[in-house]
Structure 1
Amino acid sequence: MFSSTNAITPAGYDRFRKYLQKVCGISLSENKQYLVASRLGKLLEREGFNRIEALVDTLEVGRNKALKEEVINAMTTNETLWFRDSHPFNILREKILPEMKDRPLKIWSAASSTGQEPYSISMVIEEFKASKPGVLRAGERIVATDICTNILQHAKQAEYDSLAIARGLGADMQRKYFDKVNDSTWRVKRNLSTRVEFKFLNLIEPFSTLGKFDVIFCRNVLIYFTAETKLDILRRMHSCLNPGGYLFLGGSEALSGLSSHFDIVQCHPGIVYKAK
């Protein structure tokens, strides 16, 4: 009988975590065999792999792109909600958007998951424009990227069930910014969704072709990378920011070793990093 736990041998697990780090930057600790077993067990059984070494052998040949994509999708964490942590969105509305008067605004939501973050940003922009008419007149664009292809497809649809809607979103915002599809599904209104463009992106690969941004949200993703990979990504993000542009990190993430690149802006509550 197939056992996903027995399929994850110590040597096989070590090979797999090195492969995963190489292709997408995710760094698994030495004691996460159970996580791999739970997320890849069905895939291993379906493909007839008795040991994870056989999966890695196939992946390293590089011919089965669909299998590689499925493995990355399975190993990617996609926990999110509307207006997560609240502080970054308050800082965006109260400090950053007023500075963007009479100039185009471009925001990057990195690791955007199922879309709650970029759509929350779009709602903040809409609320700001209603309260401060005439300030943002040059257009706004939000680029949302993720490595998980099936999650990106879900985000592009801009449709959410009642359970997902309830995670961080009040009834008044739901009525204001969503259209009801049926009894259990709601769709983000078109004036918000057309502002957002979703793209596939692996953060460990070059991303300078995305262009320059005024604001980057890169929250709750760098914790999955090694310190070296994290620093590399942050340096390249700095290069993607316009002078004086802003970077948001997750609540449990800190920017260290890059004091020559960013200033810390205390916003009480919350902080944001400003590109030098």
Structure 2
Amino acid sequence: MLSSTNTITPAGYGRFREYLQKVCGISLSDNKQYLVASRLGKILERENFSKIEQLVDALDRPMNAKLKEEVINAMTTNETLWFRDTHPFTILREKVLPEMTGAPLRIWSAASSTGQEPYSISMVIEEFKNARPGVLKPGERIVATDICTNILQHAKQGEYDSLAIARGLGPDLQGRYFDKLDDSTWKIKSHLSSRVDFKYLNLIDSFAGLGKFDVIFCRNVLIYFTVDLKQDILRRMHASLKPGGYLFLGGSEALSGLSDYFEIVQCHPGIVYKAKPR
């Protein structure tokens, strides 16, 4: 059993860091042994592994795909809430959606976690359509992707307990867009969830098959990647945007070295990045 950070040797931790970055892009810093121990402790105990090296050896075997999925799920951070940071959703409603008068709108939520972001986007679309009928063409779609398989299943169900539903969601929207299933569970209404398609996706892999988008939300995920991988993902996201499409990043994230791909649009408060033609 891996009982403390002391049982993770520097060499073992280095091997696990390399493996995690190779398979999903997550780059752990030098001092995260405690995080690995806390998140993988139950898996290591169940598998009767006394060292992290034994886990890495097992993960390298092709027949252990389920174990690999379980480890990635455990190491993925899924912190989220409704309308996180507020201003990106204000920008979407007031700046971006009024420009989307062509083909049916397509939005990609690239780290959808338990579903709060794509469902928040769906609520913004619904509010906009009610306030300005006829601006958006019918048939809007939201593609929501994540690498964490158990989280995706949760998101597809669209059910949240009272604590989760209260994080960032006002009572007016809660009453308007959710059905109460019992004293502690709420489910998003079907006309909002029906425009969201949840899919598994590892951002280090190709996402060209998802098609082209008017808007991409890629928030609070690139901070876990190396600079080179981050730039690679952003270049490929540029290729996935329609001409003049918009990219939203997290509050602590910024573009670096990609001024040929995106221009900054100041929105006071907040910014959004607009794809330049190439």
Q: The TM-score by the shorter chain falls in which range?
A: over 0.9
Residue 41 of structure 1 deviates from its aligned partner by 0.7
1:86 matched residue in structure 2: 86
Match runs of 1:130-145 below 5 Å: 130-145=130-145
2:258 partner SS: coil
When normalised by structure 2's length, the TM-score is: 0.98
1:125 matched residue in structure 2: 125
Residue 50 of structure 1 deviates from its aligned partner by 0.6
Match runs of 1:153-164 below 5 Å: 153-164=153-164
Which residue type is aligned with residue 243 of structure 1?
A: P
Q: Deviations over 1:116-168 (max 9, x none)?
A: 00000000000000000111123210000000000000000000000000000
2:26 partner SS: coil
| Residues 87 and 270, structure 1, Cα contact 8 Å, conserved in 2 | yes
| Residues 4 and 44, structure 1, Cα contact 8 Å, conserved in 2 | no
- CA distance in 1 between counterparts of 2:267 and 2:135 reads 22
1:111 matched residue in structure 2: 111
Fraction of identical pairs, as percent = 79
Match runs of 1:54-203 below 5 Å: 54-203=54-203
Comparing 157-166 with 97-106, greater Cα deviation is found at 97-106
Would you say 1:228 and 2:223 are equivalent positions? no
Residue 2 of structure 1 deviates from its aligned partner by 5.4
Q: Which runs of 5+ in 2 are unaligned?
A: none
When normalised by structure 1's length, the TM-score is: 0.98
| Residues 2 and 37, structure 2, Cα contact 8 Å, conserved in 1 | no
Match runs of 1:243-262 below 5 Å: 243-262=243-262
Which residue type is aligned with residue 208 of structure 1?
A: A
Q: Which runs of 5+ in 1 are unaligned?
A: none
- CA distance in 2 between counterparts of 1:162 and 1:188 reads 13
Q: Deviations over 1:14-70 (max 9, x none)?
A: 000000000000000011000000000111011000100000001112221110000
Which residue type is aligned with residue 220 of structure 2?
A: N
Which residue type is aligned with residue 89 of structure 2?
A: F
| Residues 147 and 200, structure 1, Cα contact 8 Å, conserved in 2 | yes
- CA distance in 1 between counterparts of 2:272 and 2:2 reads 49
Q: Deviations over 1:202-230 (max 9, x none)?
A: 00011100000000000000000000000
> C-alpha root-mean-square deviation of aligned residues, in Å?
0.9
1:271 matched residue in structure 2: 271
Give the paired residue count: 276
| Residues 102 and 138, structure 1, Cα contact 8 Å, conserved in 2 | no
1:18 matched residue in structure 2: 18
